[in-house]
Amino acid sequence: MATATVILLDGLAYGMVLFIISVGLTVTMGLMRVVNLAHGGFAMAGGYLAAMMIRAGVPFFAAAALATLAAGILGGIAEMTVFRPLYRKGELAQVLMTFGLTFVFIAALTWLFGTDVKILPIPSYLAGPVDLGFRTYPTYRLFLIVVGLLLFLLVWFVIEGSLYGARLRAAVDNPRMARAVGIDVNRLFTITFVIGCALAGFGGVIGAEMLQLDPFYALRYLVLFLVVVAVGGLGSFKGSFVAAITLGVVETAGKFLFTDIAAFLLFALVFVLLLWRPNGLLPPKSVA
């Protein structure tokens, strides 16, 4: 029982990291159908920035906040310069463009920081173990779960409860109709893109304990983020939450129970889920 609880917690923590980084990608891909392979680059940039600031003496949370902000600004700049000319072009041009951008990200970070793993020190009060009563457990992972849950509630609150959220839902469900009733979908997209990149940057910071930072981060973990998007359903933030948690918990439990087939678990699961629900677990109305 104790072990089962620990495995569940591990799965949740892993799922939360995936959710935080992927949620922005899900929504922007659902909104504009822009295939953004550079998304991992923003997460990586956030992580690197925070690592630099913490080394320079900035406290963990301040560094995380600043890195989140910076990733958002970087996302805004990229949206205005690189992504805007892409909307008219097909998916393939977007793939090429964002793949190229990822290469530039990787080369830039290699140039600035070398190829080694960058360690992002976590504050001492989160670093140690915590006593759960039946055994100890890393405090930081509990922190990840709490932050993930809070963030999910915040995103839910904004999307379900604010005007911005109402517009966003309308635009994802039916972009043409949304335009017709006067919603500025392009502006909505810019805002969402910036928020998505900021969240990715935040995820890059707090997830660095699990998804280690090095220049190849942007490509290495990209597949994981795309998996969450596809399994959750394009444009659906709740879908990406359910997908991330499901994948996190099932994969973690599977690895514990069946170490022999651990390598096949994630993608076998993805394969089955996508054949079962090709539009994702919780697709928005436009594709359901």
Partner 1 sequence: MNPAWHALPWLLAIAFYFTAGGYLSLGTSILVYILLTLSLDLALGYAGIITLGHAAFFGFGAYGAALFAIHVNADPLLGLVVATAVTAVFAVVTGMLILHTQGVTLLMLTLAIAVLLAEAANRAYKVTGGDDGLQFTMGPVLGLFRFDLWGQTAYLYTLVILFVWFVIAWKVVHSPFGRSLDGIRQSQARMRAIGTPVWWRLIAIYAISAAMAGSAGALSAQTTRFVGLNTLGLLVSGIAVVMLVLGGTRRLYGAFLGAAVYVVVQDFAAKVNPFYWMFVIGGLLMATVLFLEGGLMEVLDIGRRWLRRLLRGSDPT
Partner 2 sequence: MRRILLGLGAAIAMLVLPGLAAAETVKVGVIGVFSGGFARWGEQFKQAIEVFQKHHGKVVNGNTIEIILRDAGGPDPAKARQLAEELILREKVQFLAGFAFTPNAMAVAELITEAKMPTVIFNAATAVITRRSPYFVRVSFTLPQVSAPIAVWAPKNGIKKVVTVVSDYAPGHDSEQTFIKVFKANGGEILESIRIPLSTTDFAPFFERVLQQKPDAMFMFGPGGPPSVAMINTWASRLKPAGIQLVTTNETQAIDLPKIGRAAIDAIGSSNFTEIIDTPLNKRLRADMTAMFGPDQVPDVATVGTYDGLQLIYMTVAKLGPRPNPDDVMKFWTSGLKWESPRGPIAIDPKERDIIQGVHLRRVKEVDGKLINVDFEIVPDVKDPWKEENK
Residues near partner 1 (CB under 8 A) are 29, 35, 82, 85-86, 89, 91-93, 95-97, 99-104, 106-108, 110-111, 223, 226-227, 229-231, 234, 263-264, 267-268, 270-271, 274-275, 278-280
276's contact among partner 2, partner 1, none, with CB below 5 to 8 A by partner kind, is: none
256's contact among partner 2, partner 1, none, with CB below 5 to 8 A by partner kind, is: partner 2
Least distance from C-beta 103 to partner 1, angstroms? 3
104's contact among partner 1, partner 2, none, with CB below 5 to 8 A by partner kind, is: partner 1
Q: Return d(Cα 131, Cα 139) in angstroms, integer.
A: 9
Sketch the per residue contact string, 176 through 215, with partner 2: x for CB under 8 A, - otherwise. Answer: ---------------------------------xxxxxxx
Q: Return d(Cα 188, Cα 195) in angstroms, integer.
A: 11
147's contact among partner 1, partner 2, none, with CB below 5 to 8 A by partner kind, is: none
Distance set, CA 224 to CA 52, 121, 221, 249, 270 (Å): 25, 24, 5, 14, 11
**Residue 12 or 97 with smaller CB distance to partner 1:** 97
With a CB cutoff of 8 Å and minimum separation 6, the contacts of 163 are: none
Least distance from C-beta 29 to partner 2, angstroms? 22
Residues in the chain: 288
5 binds partner 2 (CB under 8 A): no
**Residue 47 or 280 with smaller CB distance to partner 1:** 280
b/e map 114-137, b = 16+ CB within 10 Å:
eeeebebebeeebeeeeeeeeeeb
Residues 246, 252, 258, 260: is their CA dihedral positive or negative?
positive
**Residue 111 or 276 with smaller CB distance to partner 2:** 111
Ranges assigned E (strand) in the chain? 129-131, 136-138
Q: Which amino acid is at 134?
A: F
Contact between 140 and 121 under an 8 Å Cβ cutoff? The reply is no
CA angle 130, 131, 135 (to 5 degrees): 120
Q: Which residues bind partner 2 (CB under 8 A)?
A: 3, 6-7, 10, 14, 110, 114-117, 119, 121, 129, 136, 138, 209-216, 219-221, 224, 252-253, 255-256, 259, 262-263, 266
